């Protein structure tokens, strides 16, 4: 456990351990701190052991030339979580300036977890995972790595002549990029939000928010300098992401092999209820796929995007509506029944008086449920009448005969509102026309 304070040092870890920073623990190297990585570059934390955990630090590169925030070299089972890393500088060889780097030299790097970090203001990538072969500089296939829950932005600030992603995996298998917020990568067609370079089977890109980049997600599945060995190329599954405001492409499949591998990017939100913009056409299972001139982010050929997602926002001051309060994505064309329970006792006695809606939801209604088919960005607001600050009166109802059914829709009523009740006679009795 490292106590709160500012530490002007660079840390080397050569044995398995857990390094935890208490709130306020800041590592802030200056140019007097040692160089690692062959004595050439300066990581704030340099790890060469397997099974290490690093969590809870702020790593600040503003007081010296800091090339990497956390650098795992030839590591397996490294966990990097809940850190804030910023202002990483490049070097003359154009291989530095990375917030979190897990890199193998003549080795794969496997089963590493990078989660819930904030990474920003880096000269190149925010997060990178991959291993390389020294004899020919081919990328090797690393497996089981996870990049999840991170907020990564303002990457690729340079100076650099390189290209790549804010979050990048090279040579990946059975690996996941999930639940990250990846945004505001430096403008330029060579800089991407997510980049997978060399993909084998079992990779997933799920539930990320990738927005306000030039390129959103770029997939180069089978480049020539990836050593697949006994593994085979495979397209990552790309689902449940919010991909929007990326000025060039939302998803770009760099389709180098022939025939190209197809990316399944169905069930994503593309920034507009009309879906993505696909200006061209290609043959899929013998039939033309595209064009589709939606108003969302653009996609290239060899990307499946239909069906896509559409958002529904639910607002309610009371009860636990179904769907729940907040914004949830639904497949375009889904039929939804939204409902609340009324009356409820929370602050006092609350009665739902209906709803107002936008998009695919009817504009208004007086019931406690509504069914609609979602094809537009939509909202439903449940409206309530509350006893707090008002006057309420109890209602009692009694049948003069012991048979039949009496139904009271609410046992209390606000003064000035109309009470509703119904009565059903049994088969042997008549119901009089008055009460």
pLDDT exceeds cutoff 70 at 2: yes
DSSP 305-354: --S-EEEEEEEESSS--BSPSEEEEEETT-EEEEE---SB-SSS-EEEEE
pLDDT-derived band at 417 (thresholds 50, 70, 90) equals low
Give 262-307 pLDDT, tens digit per residue. Answer: 999 999 999 999 999 999 999 999 999 999 999 999 999 999 999 9
pLDDT exceeds cutoff 80 at 111: yes
In this prediction, residue 256 carries a pLDDT of: 73
pLDDT exceeds cutoff 70 at 398: no
Residue 345 domain flag: yes
Report the number of distinct structural domains present in the chain: 3
In this prediction, residue 415 carries a pLDDT of: 52
Is the sign of the CA dihedral 250, 256, 258, 264 positive or negative? negative
pLDDT exceeds cutoff 90 at 222: yes
CA separation for the pair 245, 404 (Å, rounded): 62
Three-point CA angle 193, 274, 297, nearest 5°: 20
Give 367-395 pLDDT, tens digit per residue. Answer: 999 999 999 999 999 999 887 655 555 55
SS3 68: strand
Q: Tell me which of 306, 330, 365 is where a domain ends.
A: 306
Same domain, 116 and 177: yes
What average pLDDT score do residues 7-28 get? Answer: 97
pLDDT exceeds cutoff 70 at 342: yes
The residue ranking higher by pLDDT, 326 or 406, is 326
Three-point CA angle 203, 268, 307, nearest 5°: 110
Q: Tell me which of 266, 286, 306 is where a domain ends.
A: 306
Q: Answer yes or no: are the C-beta atoms of 150 and 115 closer than 8 Å.
A: yes
Residue 431 domain flag: no
Residue 434 domain flag: no
In this prediction, residue 343 carries a pLDDT of: 86
pLDDT exceeds cutoff 80 at 399: no
pLDDT exceeds cutoff 90 at 246: yes
pLDDT-derived band at 431 (thresholds 50, 70, 90) equals very low
Provide the phi-psi class of 14: left if phi over 0, else alpha when psi is between -120 and 50, else beta. Answer: alpha
CATH code, domain with 83? 2.160.20
pLDDT exceeds cutoff 90 at 5: yes
Q: Strand (E) positions, 187-294?
A: 191-199, 204-206, 209-211, 215-220, 237-239, 242-244, 249-253, 263-264, 277-278, 282-284, 287-289, 292-293
Same domain, 317 and 235: no
Residue 350 domain flag: yes
pLDDT-derived band at 21 (thresholds 50, 70, 90) equals very high
Same domain, 124 and 246: yes
Same domain, 295 and 337: no
SS3 216: strand
The residue ranking higher by pLDDT, 177 or 256, is 177
CA separation for the pair 358, 198 (Å, rounded): 44
Q: Answer yes or no: are the C-beta atoms of 318 and 344 closer than 8 Å.
A: yes
Same domain, 378 and 403: no
CA separation for the pair 351, 358 (Å, rounded): 22
CA separation for the pair 361, 347 (Å, rounded): 28
What average pLDDT score do residues 73-91 get? Answer: 98
Same domain, 217 and 252: yes
Q: For the ranges 29-43, 141-155, 368-382, 414-428, which has the lowest average pLDDT?
A: 414-428
Mean pLDDT of the chain: 91
Residue 430 domain flag: no
Q: Tell me which of 238, 271, 306 is where a domain ends.
A: 306
Scored b (16 or more CB within 10 A) or e, 201-210 reads: ebbbbbbbbb
pLDDT-derived band at 68 (thresholds 50, 70, 90) equals very high
Residue 432 domain flag: no
Same domain, 251 and 139: yes
Domain around 47: 5-306
pLDDT above 70: percentage of residues in the chain: 88
In this prediction, residue 361 carries a pLDDT of: 98
Among candidates 82, 80, 67, 69, which has minimal Cα distance to 27?
69
DSSP 384-406: EEESTTS-EEE-----SSS-SEE
In this prediction, residue 418 carries a pLDDT of: 56
In this prediction, residue 175 carries a pLDDT of: 98
Q: Answer yes or no: are the C-beta atoms of 267 and 296 closer than 8 Å.
A: no
Residue 413 domain flag: yes
Same domain, 94 and 109: yes
CA separation for the pair 127, 61 (Å, rounded): 16
Residue 153 domain flag: yes
In this prediction, residue 391 carries a pLDDT of: 52
Among candidates 192, 188, 221, which has minimal Cα distance to 208?
192
Same domain, 315 and 294: no
Q: Is 354 exposed, middle or buried (0-12, 13-18, 19+ CB in 10 A)?
A: middle
Same domain, 218 and 352: no
Same domain, 69 and 13: yes
In this prediction, residue 409 carries a pLDDT of: 45
In this prediction, residue 82 carries a pLDDT of: 98
What average pLDDT score do residues 123-140 get? Answer: 98
Same domain, 341 and 246: no
In this prediction, residue 210 carries a pLDDT of: 98
Q: For the ranges 92-96, 136-140, 403-407, which has the lowest average pLDDT?
A: 403-407
pTM (two decimals)? 0.89
CA separation, residue 56 to residues 75, 84, 397 (Å): 20, 8, 63
CA separation for the pair 118, 151 (Å, rounded): 5
């Amino acid at each position: 456990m490292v106590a709160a304070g500012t530490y002007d040092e660079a840390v080397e870890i050569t044995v398995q351990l857990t390094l935890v920073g208490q709130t306020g623990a800041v590592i802030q190297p200056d140019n007097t701190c040692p160089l690692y990585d062959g004595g050439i570059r300066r990581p704030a934390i340099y790890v060469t052991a397997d099974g290490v955990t690093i969590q809870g630090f702020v790593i600040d590169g503003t007081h010296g030339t800091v090339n990497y925030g956390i650098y795992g070299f030839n590591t397996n089972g490294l966990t990097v979580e809940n850190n804030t890393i910023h202002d990483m500088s490049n070097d003359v060889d154009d291989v530095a300036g990375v917030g979190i780097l897990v890199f193998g030299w003549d080795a794969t790097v496997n089963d590493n977890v990078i989660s819930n970090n904030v990474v920003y203001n880096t000269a190149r990538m925010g997060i990178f995972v991959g291993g390389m072969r020294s004899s020919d500089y081919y990328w090797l296939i690393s497996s089981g790595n996870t990049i999840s829950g991170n907020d990564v932005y303002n990457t690729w600030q340079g100076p650099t002549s390189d290209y790549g992603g804010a979050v990048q995996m090279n040579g990946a298998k059975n690996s996941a990029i999930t639940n990250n917020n990846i945004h505001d990568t430096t403008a330029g067609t060579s800089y991407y939000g997510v980049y997978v370079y060399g993909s084998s089977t079992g990779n997933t890109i799920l539930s990320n928010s990738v927005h306000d980049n030039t390129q959103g997600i770029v997939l180069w599945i089978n480049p020539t300098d990836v050593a697949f060995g006994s593994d085979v190329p495979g397209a990552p599954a790309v689902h449940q992401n919010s991909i929007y405001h990326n000025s060039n492409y939302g998803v770009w499949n760099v389709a180098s092999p022939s025939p190209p591998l197809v990316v399944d990017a169905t069930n994503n939100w593309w920034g507009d209820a009309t879906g993505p913009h696909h200006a061209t056409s290609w043959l899929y299972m013998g039939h033309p796929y595209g064009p589709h001139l939606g108003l969302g982010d653009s996609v290239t050929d060899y990307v499946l995007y239909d069906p896509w997602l559409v958002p529904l926002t639910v607002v309610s001051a009371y009860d636990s509506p179904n769907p729940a309060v907040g914004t949830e994505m639904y497949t375009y064309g889904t039929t939804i029944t939204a409902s609340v329970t009324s009356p409820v006792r929370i602050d006092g006695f609350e009665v739902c008086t209906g709803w107002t809606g936008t998009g695919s939801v009817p504009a208004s209604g007086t019931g406690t449920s509504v069914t609609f088919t979602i094809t537009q960005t939509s909202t439903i607001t449940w409206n309530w009448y509350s006893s707090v600050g008002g006057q309420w009166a109890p209602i009692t109802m009694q049948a003069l005969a012991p048979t039949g059914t009496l139904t009271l829709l609410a046992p209390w009523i606000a003064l000035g509102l109309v009470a509703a009740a119904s009565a059903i006679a049994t088969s042997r009795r008549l119901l009089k026309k008055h009460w």
